[in-house]
Chain A
Amino acid sequence: SQQGEEDPQALSIQEGENATMNCSYKTSINNLQWYRQNSGRGLVHLILIRSNEREKHSGRLRVTLDTSKKSSSLLITASRAADTASYFCATAPGTGRRALTFGSGTRLQVQP
């Protein structure tokens, strides 16, 4: 898989359920960031997790990072219809380089 690849590509759940999205990457990173994008709109920053962190929380969001497996997961608990969007992970390599490499994203559909 390419740097920053998410799975599943698409996920459909009922309101109130939890949604889990995964991201895998290939090269070493300084940090990994998750973004949300509503259809045709801008990218909203959700959370940043650094390579020396294993887990972070922000409201209903929980992000984990396993650098040994080069993977991250984003958990949205108690989902709402308003959570319907595409979710992307993006990795920053560090070592002086800040360019983010984005994955293809997971399209989340939350049914009311």
Chain B
Amino acid sequence: DSGVTQTPKHLITATGQRVTLRCSPRSGDLSVYWYQQSLDQGLQFLIQYYNGEERAKGNILERFSAQQFPDLHSELNLSSLELGDSALYFCASSVGQGPVQPQHFGDGTRLSIL
């Protein structure tokens, strides 16, 4: 058990809809990272938050947004969903924001767009 909790585990919705994925980091971890794993692109970094502030952006679409709340949990919002957004979405956390930090992964949310 990594200590990182992601909900829901599975989500099925339709094109054009909006969903929110939630992540609770390990106790004491201030950094949260969001990753997307799709069949064609593999694992890709989306966005990082540290102590409530956005720190880095990767290949995140404009239709996607995220935030980290004062209690350090994070939410990833996906809107105007397309079939290609079907993927596993992982959250990871680390203590700090520095480069030499182990990251602890949640079990992921499997998003299926019908």
* A-B interaction: no
- B: which residues have CB within 8 A of A? none
